[in-house]
Structure 1
C-alpha cells in the first residue's frame, strides 16, 4: 500500500476523525500506522502506548460506521451550543417601544426610477398614504430584478407569483386599516440559504441546485408576518464562501469586472443597485461585512444568539449569524426589529430586548477605537481616519483601546471542523467534486482537512475562545461602541468568534472607484446603541447616498 494512502486513512480513523468511504478504511489499525499518523498532530507516544491504543481505536472506528448510518440532515445541530455571554454579564431586561420617526411629506418622484433608492421609511410613507400600492412597488422591483439581475448575476430565483400574491394581500390589509408597520407591503430578498416554501433553496452549490425544502425559515416567516413581500432568492458563493456560485460570479454594481465578494453576494449587489430596498444576509466570518464593502451597502451582523437560524443552511453552528443588508443604519434597525428573538426552534437564541428609540443619545455613548489599527496599514486608511475626524467634529469623544492578545486566527479551525461535520456526507460521497471551486482554499479541501483535526484540539481551541470572550468583556467594560477598520485588523476574526454585533457602513471610495467601509462594533446585545451611533455617522456624511451606475450600461 502507498505510504501516503496509509497515512491518510489512518489519520482519519485513529483520532476520532472518521475514515473516508473507501475499502482501504477497513484495514486493521497497526502501530506503524499510528506512529506516522501522530506526526500530523505533533504527538510522540511510545510504541507500547500506541500498541495499547489500537483496540480502543478499532472500537472507535466501528462506532463511526454505526453513527454514520443515522440520518443527519444539515438542519440537525450538535447538542453543544456556543455561549457568547461572559461570566457576570447582564443585559437590560426591560423591553421598550421600538420607535422610528414616520415620514409624512414624502412624494412620489417625478422620475419613477428614483424609487429604486428610497429608504424603508420613505417607501412606507408612500404606501400608507396610498400614493403607490404594494403591488405597483413590487412590480417595479421585479422589473428591475429582471432587467439588471442577469448582469449582476445576483438572483437564483424570482418568487414572482408569491410576491404578487403577498403584495395584493398587503394592499387589502392596508386598505382595511390593518397596517402592520413600516415593512408592510415592502419587497425584500433573501440569501438563498434560507428555506422558502414552494421554491428552491440552492445554497449556491451545484449538488443542491434543485433542492427544495418545504418550509419557510424563521426569518422569512417573520418578515412575511410583518407584511413583507418576498420577491427573490439571492445568490451566495457556494455553501457560503465567496461570490462564485453554480450559475456564475456575482458582480459589484460599481465595477462589473469585480466580484461582489461574499458570501452574501447577491444580497449586497441587489440592494446597492436598487433592485431591492433591503435583503437578508448571513455571516460566519465576514459574509455581511465583505460584500457590503464591495457593494457600498450598510450591513448589520447581529450578536450571536439574536436571530433564529431555523431553516438556514448550517456551516458553523457556533459562528453562523443572520442579519439585514440595507441602505442605512436606520433601515437596518427597522428590519432587525422584525427578525430578532427566540422562536423555540433555534436553541442558541436569547430573549434580550432591542430598545432602539429616541431615548438613545449617541453623543453620550462611550466610544472607543482601535488606535494601533488606524495607525497601521489596515483597511482604507485615508477614509478610515476621515471617519474618525467626522465623529470628533460631531462631538464624539474617542477613547483608544486594544483587542485581546490571543492567537485568534488559529481559532478559525472552528469553521473547518464544524463545516466538515455539516457537510460530512458531501465529502464522503464524493459529490464535493461538483462544486465549481476546487482550489486549495475552497470548501472541498477545507472539509477534507477538517477531518484531520482531532476532537481534543478542537475543544482546546474552544477553551481559548472562552478566554477570548472573557477578555473582550474586560476590554469593553467601559465602552458602548468601538470603531475599527473593516479589513486587515484582527477585529473581524475576534468579534465573529466572540459573537459581538457590528454595523459596517460606507465611508468613501478607493482610487479605482470601488466603495470602502468602516466598522462599528457594539456590546453583546447592544444593537440599539450600535445602530444609533452608525446613524449619527450617516447623518453627518453623504457616503450611503451615493449609488453605482456601472451596471446600468449593460442590460
Structure 2
C-alpha cells in the first residue's frame, strides 16, 4: 500500500491544529482514531488497516514539521515554486520601441494653487520642467494637504517629510543643472505601507508590525526615486492586505467619509482621489487595486503577474501578488509603470517583456470584446456601464461577446489562504494573530488557522486546475486584444487574478448616493501598452477622471 501511505503522509498537516494547540497535540501519539477523524476533514476514506500502516510514518512526518519550524523563515523568503502565467504556445513581443507620452501644451501655474492638487503627472511635470514651480514648492504643497486631510481620511501611516524635502531639493539641483530625468522628476508620490523604505517604518497595516522597520528600499520605491520621484508618504492598507481597517482606524473614501475606501490599497486610492498625492503605489492579490479605485473614483493599473518586482514587498500570496500604480488617468499609470516594470535580479517571477506604449497605437484597430452576460444582469449602476459601451460604439469601436472559462475558479482562491497561512505561519503559531484588529469569522486569523487543514495534495490539485484555467483563458482571448467587464464582476476578478492578466479600472460615473463607479478594461498577458492606450482612448471621450470630491468633510455619529 505504498501509494496510500504516501498520500496519507501528504495529508498529515490536516491532522494538527494551529497556534497553542500544535505543541500540545505534538506530545500525543498518532493512532488510527486520530487519522480517522482527520480524514473526515478532507473527504477521503481509507481503511483502518491502511491508516494503521501510516501511523509510524505520520509520527516521523510530524517530527519533521517541528524541525522545519525551527528554520527562520521571514516573510521575504519565497517558496522554491514560481507561478508561470504563460500558456503553452504563447509569446510576447520582442521588439522594443521608445516610450512616448506627449507633453501638454501651454500649462500654466494656476492662480488658485489648490487646483494643483488635481493636475495630471504630465501637467505637473511640465510646470517643473519649465521652472514655473520647484519640486520643493510642490512637495511642500502636497505635504500640507496631507497634514490637513489625511487624519480625517485615515489614509497615511507615516509622513516621510524629512526624506521628501531632501529629495525635492536634490531634484531641483539636478533640474537646474540640466539633468532632467523625465516626467516623474521632482513629482511627489506615496507607497502602500507594505513596501519597505529605509529608515521609516513598514507596518503592513497590522498591529503586530506597527513598529517594524525594514531598513531597505523595495525595488519599486528605489526605481521611482531613481526616476527623480519624491516619496512623501506611506499609505494605509487593511491589516496584512485585507480591507480598509488597519491598526490606526478605517480608511475612508473622500467622496463620503462615512464610507470606507475599500481595500486593501485603501490609503493609496483615498489619498490620490482627495488630491493629497499625484499618484501612489498599490498592490493586488484579489481586487486590492480594483476595489479601492472603485470606492474612491481613481484610475488603477493592475499589471500582468511577473511584470513588477515584489522585492521589498510584504508577501501574502507569492503566486498572485502584483504591484501597480493608482493615479488620475490611464496615461498617468503608463508613466509610473514605465519606471517600475522589468527584472531586477531579485524577484525570480519577473519576465523581461517590453512595454511599448507610444502614440502609434491606434485603439480603433484593437479587437475588443465584452462580457455580454455580466453586462446583461441588473445592478445598481448598470446605466453607467451601458453609457461607457455606448460611448465606445459611437466612437467607432466594435465589440464582440466573450465568455470566461467554465471552471470552479472560486474554489481556487484557497491559493491565497494557504500561501498566506505559510507567509504568516509564525504569527499564527505564536498566538500574536490575536493582536490584529479584525477577529471575525472571515478575518485573517481564522482564515490562516483554517488553511492549515488544507492538505498539500489538494493545494497542488488546485494549482493543476489553475494551469487548465491559464490555457483555457488563452483560447478564450485568442481573437481579442482587450475586453470590457463590469468592475463588480467577481468571477472576472477571480479568474484574471489567478491567470495574471492585466487590467485598468477607470471611473465612469456616480451612483445615486454620490459614490463613484468604475468599469474595468482587461488586456492580454504583457499587453499593458495596448490596454492603457485603449483606456486613455475612453478617457479622452469623457471627463469622469477629472471629477474630484469637495473635501467638505462631515462624519455621521
Smaller-chain TM-score bracket: over 0.9
Trace 1:101-180 onto structure 2 (pairs within 5 A). Answer: 101-180=102-181
Query: How far, CA to CA, are the matches of 2:45 and 2:552 in structure 1?
Result: 58
Aligned residue number for residue 7 of structure 2: none
Residues 1:13 and 1:401: Cα distance change in structure 2 (over 3 Å): closer
Aligned residue number for residue 388 of structure 1: 389
Deviation of residue 21 (structure 1)? Answer: 3.8
Aligned residue number for residue 224 of structure 1: 225
Aligned residue number for residue 255 of structure 2: 254
Given that 1:378 and 1:487 are in contact with CA atoms closer than 8 Å, whether structure 2 keeps it comes out as no
- SS at structure 2 position matched to 1:490: helix
- SS at structure 1 position matched to 2:300: strand
Deviation of residue 16 (structure 1)? Answer: 8.7
Query: How far, CA to CA, are the matches of 1:551 and 1:419 in structure 2?
Result: 39
Given that 2:193 and 2:204 are in contact with CA atoms closer than 8 Å, whether structure 1 keeps it comes out as yes
Deviation of residue 322 (structure 1)? Answer: 0.1
Deviation of residue 11 (structure 1)? Answer: 8.1
Aligned residue number for residue 73 of structure 2: 72
Residue by residue over 1:339-362, the C-alpha shift from the partner in whole angstroms, topping out at 9 and shown as x without a partner, is 000000000000000000011000
Deviation of residue 371 (structure 1)? Answer: 0.3
Trace 1:445-484 onto structure 2 (pairs within 5 A). Answer: 445-484=446-485
Query: How far, CA to CA, are the matches of 2:16 and 2:484 in structure 1?
Result: 41
Given that 2:15 and 2:35 are in contact with CA atoms closer than 8 Å, whether structure 1 keeps it comes out as no
Aligned residue number for residue 349 of structure 2: 348
Deviation of residue 186 (structure 1)? Answer: 0.1
Identify the range of structure 1 (244-253 vs 543-552) with the bigger mean alpha-carbon deviation.
543-552
Query: How far, CA to CA, are the matches of 1:307 and 1:16 in structure 2?
Result: 37
Deviation of residue 25 (structure 1)? Answer: 2.5
Deviation of residue 522 (structure 1)? Answer: 0.2
Trace 1:244-393 onto structure 2 (pairs within 5 A). Answer: 244-377=245-378, 380-393=381-394
Aligned residue number for residue 194 of structure 1: 195
Query: How far, CA to CA, are the matches of 1:368 and 1:427 in structure 2?
Result: 44
Deviation of residue 292 (structure 1)? Answer: 0.1
Given that 1:379 and 1:486 are in contact with CA atoms closer than 8 Å, whether structure 2 keeps it comes out as no
Residues 1:17 and 1:399: Cα distance change in structure 2 (over 3 Å): farther
Residues 1:302 and 1:32: Cα distance change in structure 2 (over 3 Å): same
Deviation of residue 480 (structure 1)? Answer: 0.2
- SS at structure 2 position matched to 1:508: strand
Unaligned stretches of 5+ residues in structure 2: 1-9
Deviation of residue 406 (structure 1)? Answer: 0.4
Identify the range of structure 1 (131-140 vs 104-113) with the bigger mean alpha-carbon deviation.
104-113
Query: How far, CA to CA, are the matches of 1:14 and 1:536 in structure 2?
Result: 51
Given that 1:128 and 1:174 are in contact with CA atoms closer than 8 Å, whether structure 2 keeps it comes out as yes
Aligned residue number for residue 404 of structure 2: 403
CA RMSD of aligned residues (A): 1.4
Query: How far, CA to CA, are the matches of 1:277 and 1:288 in structure 2?
Result: 16
Deviation of residue 94 (structure 1)? Answer: 1.0
Aligned residue number for residue 434 of structure 1: 435
Deviation of residue 18 (structure 1)? Answer: 7.2
Identify the range of structure 1 (436-445 vs 373-382) with the bigger mean alpha-carbon deviation.
373-382
Residue by residue over 1:17-57, the C-alpha shift from the partner in whole angstroms, topping out at 9 and shown as x without a partner, is 97854323220100001111101110010000000111111
Given that 1:380 and 1:485 are in contact with CA atoms closer than 8 Å, whether structure 2 keeps it comes out as no
- SS at structure 1 position matched to 2:441: coil
Given that 2:17 and 2:449 are in contact with CA atoms closer than 8 Å, whether structure 1 keeps it comes out as no
Deviation of residue 379 (structure 1)? Answer: 7.3
1:90 and 2:91 are equivalent in the alignment: yes
Trace 1:9-24 onto structure 2 (pairs within 5 A). Answer: 13=13, 20-24=21-25
Deviation of residue 378 (structure 1)? Answer: 5.3
Given that 1:190 and 1:267 are in contact with CA atoms closer than 8 Å, whether structure 2 keeps it comes out as yes
Aligned residue number for residue 243 of structure 1: 244
Residue by residue over 1:400-419, the C-alpha shift from the partner in whole angstroms, topping out at 9 and shown as x without a partner, is 11000000000000001000
Identify the range of structure 1 (483-492 vs 428-437) with the bigger mean alpha-carbon deviation.
483-492
- SS at structure 2 position matched to 1:505: strand
Residues 1:33 and 1:379: Cα distance change in structure 2 (over 3 Å): farther
Query: How far, CA to CA, are the matches of 1:28 and 1:22 in structure 2?
Result: 12
- SS at structure 1 position matched to 2:356: coil
Residue by residue over 1:262-304, the C-alpha shift from the partner in whole angstroms, topping out at 9 and shown as x without a partner, is 0000000000000000000000000000000000000000000
Residues 1:471 and 1:185: Cα distance change in structure 2 (over 3 Å): same
Please report the TM-score for the alignment, with normalisation by the length of structure 1.
Answer: 0.97
Residue by residue over 1:217-250, the C-alpha shift from the partner in whole angstroms, topping out at 9 and shown as x without a partner, is 0000000000000000000000000000000000
Query: How far, CA to CA, are the matches of 2:69 and 2:482 in structure 1?
Result: 45
Residue by residue over 1:146-186, the C-alpha shift from the partner in whole angstroms, topping out at 9 and shown as x without a partner, is 00000100000000000000000000000000000000000
1:516 and 2:512 are equivalent in the alignment: no
Given that 1:255 and 1:551 are in contact with CA atoms closer than 8 Å, whether structure 2 keeps it comes out as no
Given that 2:16 and 2:25 are in contact with CA atoms closer than 8 Å, whether structure 1 keeps it comes out as no
1:34 and 2:38 are equivalent in the alignment: no
Query: How far, CA to CA, are the matches of 1:533 and 1:25 in structure 2?
Result: 57
Query: How far, CA to CA, are the matches of 1:473 and 1:464 in structure 2?
Result: 14
Aligned residue number for residue 58 of structure 2: 57
Q: How many residues align?
A: 545
- SS at structure 1 position matched to 2:384: helix
Query: How far, CA to CA, are the matches of 1:507 and 1:230 in structure 2?
Result: 30
Query: How far, CA to CA, are the matches of 2:489 and 2:234 in structure 1?
Result: 31
Given that 1:151 and 1:551 are in contact with CA atoms closer than 8 Å, whether structure 2 keeps it comes out as no
Query: How far, CA to CA, are the matches of 1:542 and 1:508 in structure 2?
Result: 9
Aligned residue number for residue 5 of structure 1: none
Deviation of residue 319 (structure 1)? Answer: 0.2
Given that 1:379 and 1:485 are in contact with CA atoms closer than 8 Å, whether structure 2 keeps it comes out as no
Given that 2:12 and 2:62 are in contact with CA atoms closer than 8 Å, whether structure 1 keeps it comes out as no
Given that 2:12 and 2:61 are in contact with CA atoms closer than 8 Å, whether structure 1 keeps it comes out as no
Query: How far, CA to CA, are the matches of 1:16 and 1:454 in structure 2?
Result: 11
